[in-house]
Structure 1
Amino acid sequence: MKVIIYVYDGITMLDAIGPYEVLRNMNDTEVYFVAEKKGEIKADSGFIDINVKYGIDEIKSADILVIPGSTIGFMKEMKKDRVLKWIKEVDKTTSWTTSVCTGSMLLAAAGLLAGLKATSHWKPINLLSDYGTIPVRERIVEQEKYITAAGVSAGIDMALYLSEKIVGEEETKAIQLAIEYDPQPIFDAGNYSNAEENIKKIAGAKLTKDAKKGIGLLGMIQHSKSILKIMK
């Protein structure tokens, strides 16, 4: 089983590492981190770098494709015709094409989710409709061979969901135990539908601050209505 995780500057690291920790534990599986160009990739926090060994010119096929999200970096990736073309080419070879958080925006921009339901992080989720995709506020959405996950931590749940489909319940339970994934949050505030309005406002302010920092880290990004929607 060949798994590709596409990474790029400004990525939210858990979007990639969460699914990686699950999928790498499936039997007979190889995971490849792939970037537009191999080399150093910076996370959206500005504090973590990863050294990517493969560029998109070197990897053209996969059984599973994972597209992680980011605070603002996904906007830059969505404008790269070369990257979108590569995503579409790899998608032709996959059994499953997946995303975490705003990674679904890249799939939508590539034209893969037109007419389908998909999810994303709660703040920019409505941008999906700009590409003919139907946004739904659910943790995991499966449509044909496409599985999209909500924000950040949802990538772990998505990977376990996918693992169960591929290797079955018993092995997936063993993977869950191996990574000791037993979430017991102290507050019931992690779901947009359950969160109080004042909590949404505070969280939104934190995300806007991160978005502004992300623009600075990534250099000049052409402002658009989409970016303004995210910043609000």
Structure 2
Amino acid sequence: MRIVMLAYPGMTQLDLTAPFEVFARLPGARVEIAAKNAPRPVEDAAGLKIVPTIAPGDLAGCDVLFVPGGPGQIDLMEDEETLAFLRRMAERARFVTSVCTGSLVLAAAGLLTGYRATCHWLSLPQLALLGAIPVEERVVVDRNRVTGAGVTSGLDFALRLAAEVVGEAEARRIGLAIEYEPASPFPARAQEDPRLVAEVRARTAAFQERREALARKVGQRKAGWPFPKEPPAP
């Protein structure tokens, strides 16, 4: 089983590394980190460098396609070379997946049109601009599309996907092996102090405006996209 994880400058490393920890433990899995500049390191949004293992052009296909999110996602949404690569991989993939704003990249490639999907809570409404159906859940599964919400949902997403790929028992063994027992010291977002939520929104407002404007721009090209406007029947 070949799992291809896209890496790109400005991604959020935890979006990639949390699922990687689970994927690497799947029996028989071969995990590839694909990046344009492979094998040179890719620097994430916070400066952490990750070494990719393969260039996109060296891949013929995969069983699982994965895209992380992060501020660098903005550049990818108009990167036709990357979008074409994702479409090519998705043609044969058993599962097409993402965490955080990686779903916006999949949607920009036309791979979530008509599918239910999730994203980071600050960017979730933008999925609708790109033809997807936004769902505010930690992990969303719609046929062979599996998407995770913001950053820390990567482990929830990966364990859910593991259950789909190798069965619940093995996924639970992996959960035990990595001691997955989340216990946040803070309230869930729905119960958080509204003032703190407003402050987070305010701090990211300028960037979110850029992200939304681009999602709107890409979405407006929808009529000319050379791929189906609706997903295949279940």
TM-score by length of 2: 0.85
User: Residue 138 of structure 1 aligns with which residue?
Assistant: 137
User: Residue 8 of structure 1 aligns with which residue?
Assistant: 8
User: Residue 148 of structure 1 aligns with which residue?
Assistant: 147
User: Residue 42 of structure 1 aligns with which residue?
Assistant: 43
- The 5 A counterparts of 1:170-209 are 170-189=169-188, 191=189, 193-207=190-204
CA separation of 1:207 and 1:18: change in aligned 2, threshold 3 A: farther
Structure 1 window deviating more from structure 2 (173-182 vs 79-88): it is 173-182
CA distance in 1, matches of 2:74, 2:35: 16
User: Residue 117 of structure 2 aligns with which residue?
Assistant: 118
SS of match in other structure, 1:33: strand
User: C-alpha deviations, 1:22-54, integer Å up to 9, x for none?
Assistant: 1110111110000122112111112x1112131
CA distance in 1, matches of 2:5, 2:97: 10
1:66·1:97 contact (CA, 8 Å) conserved in 2? yes
CA separation of 1:98 and 1:228: change in aligned 2, threshold 3 A: closer
Aligned partner of 2:170: which letter?
E
CA distance in 2, matches of 1:107, 1:129: 13
Question: Which ranges of structure 1 fall in alignment gaps of 5 or more residues?
Answer: 213-222
User: Residue 81 of structure 2 aligns with which residue?
Assistant: 82
CA separation of 1:83 and 1:114: change in aligned 2, threshold 3 A: same
SS of match in other structure, 1:32: strand
User: Residue 26 of structure 1 aligns with which residue?
Assistant: 26
Q: Report percent identity of matched pairs.
A: 33
Aligned residues: 214
TM-score by length of 1: 0.86
CA separation of 1:29 and 1:157: change in aligned 2, threshold 3 A: same
How far 1:195 moved relative to its partner? 2.9
| Superposition CA RMSD, Å | 2.0
Out of 196, 213, 217, which is 1:226 matched to? 213
User: Residue 221 of structure 2 aligns with which residue?
Assistant: none
